[in-house]
Structure 1
Amino acid sequence: MIDEMTTLDSNHTWVLVPPPPGKSIIGCQWVFNVKVGLDGQVDRLKARLVAKGYTQVYGLDYSDTFSPVAKMDSVRLFLAMAAMRHWPLFQLDIKNAFLHGDLEEEIYMEQPPGFVAKGGSGLVCKLQKSLYGLKQSPHAWFGRFSKVIQEFRMIPCEADHSVFFKHSLTHRFVYLVVYVDDIVITGDDQEGIKALKQHLFKHFQTKDLGPLRYFLRIDVAQSKSSIAISQRKYTLDILEETKLTDCKSVDTSMDPNVKLMPNQGEPCPDSGRYRRLVEKLNYLTMTRPDISFSISVVSQFLNSPCESH
């Protein structure tokens, strides 16, 4: 919590002011999370201050909320292009990305629980930067990021605004894809890539993660001649959630002799859990297209799943 408050203070996220008459004051709360590394071990414990954006009023506290994220088709094409042209893949992470967004509206917030300024209990925070939880934070962050990236003369792709590219006069290329705060860069212009990294370091608190290894729950292994993608950790997490880590492997994901029908047997006691699992399995088809048909079958029963499904 102290680390989070230090980051917020160094970013000049707010100033303390008396509560303005006629202005709504939104609340905030602490959210705690456990960061797990690629090996499944606890990496670090994290505390994040989150604004209670659900109390904001449209047209008064916020207007635009849209923020594009990279399409999965774009990610696949990005990786395929790098594999085909033998380009290296690099990954960057923007720390506390949403805190870099510039707010257009006047937002007032209560002081963080446990960190009320000494002698300032009657003051409130006038936000100068966006904060996690605000309705407009994703929009504000992407607007800032897009502006900074285009200052480097990167051009947004018309088909996917989360993909940027730069072609030099010497026919060298730099490509970038961003998913919220995760960034992947590739291309054959190594000096251009180095300069782009420095440009990002200058404007954001950026961590260089080196060669791409894990992105959007996808494991990436790149050699000199190919790129292999898998979702091993993601699969193991699903098995742990369903308590099937000791199950035996089979040749096919569905018995071809079994035909599933609506209202077949007892209703599933937790239909919400069924839908969540199907959604996770559907994402697994990113690297396991062989299970696509099976997932399409069980997806037919999302509204009223039964035990047999």
Structure 2
Amino acid sequence: MEEEMASLEKNKTFTLVNRSPGQRVLRNRWVFKLKLGDGNSSPRYKARLVVKGFEQKHGIDYEEIFSPVVKMTSIRVVLGLVAYFDLEIEQLDVKTAFLHGNLDEDIFTEQSEGFKIKGKEDMICKLEKSLYGLKQAPRQWYKKFDSFMGEHGFSRTMIDHCVYIKGLSNGDFIILLLYIDDMLIVGKNLNTIKELKCQLNDAFEMKDLGSARYILGMEIKRDRASRKLWLSQEKYILKVLARFNMQDAKPVSCPLGAHFKLSTRLCSSRGSDTDDMENVPYASAVGSLMYAMLCTRLDIAFPVGLVSRFLAHPGKEHWEVVK
């Protein structure tokens, strides 16, 4: 918590002001998380001061909130280029990414619990920069980062607005992929990548994770001698199986048995079936499978798409197919 507050003060995220009569003030809270590494590193304890963004009102506290992230297809394409051309691939993580975004609106929040300044308990915080929990925080961070990349000669691809490319005079090039606060940097020359890392670290406080090994729940395994690269979500899939108590299930070669014929006639109707299905985490299970499908398990695309049609009123037969 002290590290988080020190980071907020370093970034000059807010200034203390007197509360005006009828002033609209958002509440906040502390959120704690244990972030697990890739198995080789020790877990990290994180604390975040988060504004209760659900109290915000459109047109008063925010306008646009959309922020793009890199597409999984873009990640796979670039990783394919890395393997084929034997390129260097490095990974960076932005510390407190959302704190870098500038706000267009006047937003006020309470002083954080445990860090109220003595003698100034009645004062409130006027946000100068975005804070976690604000609806517009991801968009403001993306706008700040996009502006930085443009100033340094990078062009944004039209097909994916989170893929940046820069060609150099010696035939070298750099590709940067951005997924909120995670970055993959690809290039021929490691020194060129290190130069970009220094520029990024000067503008935003970064954590250099070295050669990419783990990104968005996917483990990256590489054999440079044979120019091959593998993506694995084994840990994620095992975690999902344990979450739905399916860790002892038997594997099957075909994701969808030929004997399953799904239709809306099988959807739960009023009565005991509906009551039973209300306690079944159908949507959560389908969403977990969908993330695996988008990242590495393209072979289950058809059955996941099929069971997604019945999210509104799933029946028992639909749940059997999901399992």
The alpha-carbon deviation at position 42 of structure 1 amounts to 7.0
TM superposition shift of 1:25: 1.3
Q: Deviations over 1:219-277 (max 9, x none)?
A: 21122111111211110111011111122222222222333343437445237720121
2:262 to 260, 263, 282: 260
The corresponding residue for 1:234 is 236
Provide Cα deviations, 1:25-55, integer angstroms capped at 9, x if missing partner.
Answer: 1111112222122239971232211112222
Distance 2:217 2:11 in 1: 29
Q: Which amino acid is 2:207 matched to?
A: K
Give matches, 1:58-97, under 5 Å: 58-97=58-97
Worse overlay, 178-187 or 70-79: 70-79
- 1:306 corresponds, among 291, 302, 315, to 315
Partner of 2:25: 25
Q: Offset of 1:308 from its aligned partner?
A: 2.1
CA contact (8 A) 2:88 2:190 kept: no
Question: 2: CA distance between counterparts of 1:30 and 1:236?
Answer: 30
Q: TM-score, normalised by structure 1?
A: 0.93
Judged with a 3 Å threshold, the aligned counterparts in structure 2 of structure 1 residues 64 and 294 are, in CA distance, closer, same or farther, namely closer
- 1:289 is aligned to 298
> Does the 8 Å contact 2:102/2:144 carry over to 1?
yes
Q: Is the 8 A contact 1:26 1:109 kept in 2?
A: yes
Give the direction of change, closer, same or farther, for the CA distance of 1:88–1:62 in structure 2 (3 Å limit): same
The correspondence of residues 99-178 of structure 1 with structure 2, limited to 5 A, is 99-178=99-178
- Give TM-score, length-normalised by structure 2: 0.89
Tell which deviates more after alignment, 110-119 or 299-308: 299-308
SS at match of 1:308: helix
Distance 1:106 1:247 in 2: 53
Instruction: Return closer, same or farther for 1:53/1:297 CA change in 2, 3 Å cut-off.
Output: closer
Question: CA offsets, 1:96-148, max 9 Å, x none?
Answer: 10011112222111111222111001111111111001122111111111122
Match of 1:280 among 285, 288, 298: 288
Secondary structure, counterpart of 1:183 in structure 2: strand
**Residue 196 (str. 1) matches residue 196 (str. 2):** yes
Write the letter of the residue equivalent to 2:149: I
| 1:289 CA drift (Å) | 2.1
SS in 2 for 1:115: coil
CA distance 1:272–1:137, change in 2 (3 Å): farther
Structure 2 residue matching 1:269: 3-state secondary structure: helix
CA shift for structure 1 position 195: 0.8
What one-letter code is carried by the residue in structure 2 that aligns with 1:239?
L
Alpha-carbon distance in structure 2 between the residues aligned to 1:20 and 1:74: 49
| Cα distance between partner residues in 1 of 2:84 and 2:102 | 39
Contact 2:88–2:189, Cα closer than 8 Å, also in 1: no
More divergent stretch after superposition (39-48 vs 5-14): 39-48
> What is the identity, as a one-letter code, of the residue corresponding to 2:234?
R
Report the CA distance shift for 1:125/1:149 in structure 2 as closer, same or farther (over 3 A): same
Structure 1 residues without counterparts, runs of 5 or longer: none
User: Do the aligned residues in 2 keep the contact of 1:271 with 1:304 (CA within 8 Å)?
Assistant: no
Distance 1:181 1:252, change over 3 A: same
